[in-house]
A and B are shown apart, each in its own frame.
Chain A
């Protein structure tokens, strides 16, 4: 996929957690292009910023969840999507798998797990 920016979009409905993730991404030397707390907002921001990486929570505000947003973004933008989920339910995991995720991380995500996954995703996106 071409035309992606070397930025990270954070999709997370808990704003403090989103802030924490932003700080972690910045500590890795990357830029955060924005944060979204609904699936619609996530899709809209992804189309505007065309981020190389999206950190995607599954539970979001509104009817649609992260899995729905990821599907739309995968088809229209093509960002590398890293799911960060609190759920370990097989149903959710199966749905995530259908969305061509780059990786799926289960909360709590350690610093080194996040760092390693993000840098791998950057390499995969051709932005390293």
Chain B
């Protein structure tokens, strides 16, 4: 586009002040739009490069406004011809330099924080004023010299643009803004080469129109950048919209999954608590059945006792009923416990011992049960219940010939952490070996031996103001 336009201008030697003014105005408008676009991109992407470029183009826009106002003869207090040479040419150079310097400096500043933008703008403005002063002193047009160059003072501009284009092009993995600037800067460099050959409007020469070509090129470069930036902005917006819609979709999917998982968990929870309830119900039922069967057996034994005449046989069956009662009582305690697995053994021992004493009918025998609270399961409770039954029964049968006395049941934790069950009486004392020889008690002693080894316990029997049976067993309280 630039090439075609430049060719037309050169061939037809267009040097119209109106065309010149239109191009100046376009450059000003394009710079302003570029500054706004860059500012917008920097806000959205938080890129310092776009921000410093926006500052540079902002300053440039102000400079071009000045140049354009002169072209529109709004600031002229001299004759039009004087102004044309003095101010039009005089403000071109500073704004040309300041734009190349600004764009180049933005590249160098790209790693600095954005708050330096103000200082950068001030530096550019001061530089512009300095350039303005310098270019009032420097000659504007010279006779064609080296290579026919008429404005050697402008030689720096295309060189700076070339450097900038190279710098932006080299920016590895640079933002899209950088490649847009690189392309625009290349066109700028080319356009400003033409300016080196420009001459005053009334100067007849073969190179008439080179100034216009430079102006045209500048506008073309500006438009190129403007277009690229618009495209970047549009692409960004499209990407953002896509990302947002993807996010919305993902959110909906997640919410849906959460709802599904929640309802699954609620269902699983319900099933689990139902299963637990079912388990409790089943366990209660089993304990109930066991207890009922024990009572059934007890009833049969009871009925059998009534039909027997032999006192030894009756005694043996009554002994059996005591043991059945101990087992039934364990199951009764289990059914009443909250976890259906363990229960506190201390009230149980009291109830058990009381029942044995009253069952055998020792009205003048006092009982004391001192048990620390201890949660036990079936595996400990059954042997413990039977042991207490046997030991208390032994004391009742052998210790008190006159039917008076005292029995003590103690459950305590020893210093080494083991449990100690002590059943003692203040009776006459008896030889357990001797007692075991008696027919009726052979079973009791055998049971005690078996239960002690089941509990992996140690039993010590002493006769000292009565009989003391001490059973030591390990129990960590966690059945």
Contacts and interface: CB of A to CB of B under 8 A. Distances in A.
Q: Is the interface of B mostly helix, strand, loop or mixed?
A: helix
B336 interface: yes
Contact of A86 (B292, B303, B359): B292
11 contacts: A14-B292, A14-B295, A20-B298, A88-B336, A107-B328, A108-B291, A108-B294, A108-B325, A108-B329, A110-B325, A111-B359
Given A20-B302, A87-B288, A110 B359 contact: yes
B54 interface: no
Contacts of B288: 86-87
Interface in B291-309: 291-292, 294-296, 298-300, 302-303, 306
A23 B303 contact: yes
Contacts of A111: 359
B295 A108 contact: yes
Nearest to B325: A108
Given A14-B292, A107-B291, A108-B325, A88 B332 contact: yes
Contacts of B284: 87, 89
Interface size bucket, B side?
20 to 34
A28 interface: no
Interface string A68-95: 0000000000000000001111000000
A83 to B, nearest CB: 14
B416 interface: no
Interface string B267-310: 00000000000000000100010011011101110110010000
Contacts of B328: 107-108
Contacts of B303: 16, 19-20, 23
Contact of A112 (B294, B306, B355): B355
A119 to B, nearest CB: 14
Nearest to B300: A16
B434 interface: no
Contact of A20 (B292, B300, B329): B300
B171 to A, nearest CB: 81
A17 B325 contact: no
Contact of A17 (B299, B306, B324, B336): B299
B367 to A, nearest CB: 13
A107 B358 CA distance: 17
A24 B329 CA distance: 19
A48 B298 CA distance: 30
A45 B298 CA distance: 26
B106 interface: no
Contacts of A20: 295, 298-300, 302-303
Interface in B323-341: 324-325, 328-329, 332, 335-336
Q: Is the interface of A mostly helix, strand, loop or mixed?
A: helix
Interface in A90-108: 106-108
Interface of A: 14, 16-17, 19-21, 23-24, 27, 86-89, 106-108, 110-113
Contact of B324 (A88, A106, A108): A108
B322 to A, nearest CB: 9
Contacts of B306: 23, 27
The 3 closest A-B pairs by CB, nearest first: A20-B299, A108-B328, A88-B336
Contacts of A86: 288, 291-292, 295, 335
Nearest to A111: B359
Nearest to A88: B336
Interface in B45-81: none
Nearest to B355: A110
A17 B297 CA distance: 8
Interface string B327-370: 01100100110000000000000000001001100000000000
A20 B302 CA distance: 6
A89 B298 CA distance: 23
B359 A112 contact: yes
Interface in B196-230: none
B295 A17 contact: yes
